[in-house]
Amino acid sequence: MLPMQTRLKEWREKRGLSLRKLGELSGVHYVSLIKLEAGRLDPQLSTLLKLCRALDITLNQLVGEPRGKGGRSHGTNAKG
């Protein structure tokens, strides 16, 4: 699975957006976007949601599938 930073850059480029334009659309400063794409900044959930709205994608498309997808939920032991 690709790291979030790589997916962010791919989605931004797919939408034809510069870092500055994505910053304008999302309300996230373009310097923060540079750091995010370089893997030098760990974003808060609110930042990720702003980026998702600006890119018109879901959070899952940006950060990836949670581990254990398709498996049993943790903490349950339900029988059939």
Residue 48 lies in a domain: yes
Q: Which of 67, 28, 34 lies closest to 48, judged by CA? A: 28
CA distance 74 to 8: 29
Q: Which of 65, 68, 66, 63 lies closest to 76, judged by CA? A: 68
- Predicted pLDDT of residue 67: 60
Name the pTM for this structure. 0.79
Range of the domain at 33: 4-62
Mean pLDDT for the stretch of residues 66-77: 49
Residue 12's CB is within 10 A of a number of other CB atoms, namely 20
Residue 47 lies in a domain: yes
Mean pLDDT for the stretch of residues 53-66: 92
What's the structural domain count of the chain?
1
- Predicted pLDDT of residue 65: 73
Residue 18 lies in a domain: yes
Is the per-residue pLDDT at 71 higher than 50? no
Report the CATH number at residue 20.
Answer: 1.10.260.40
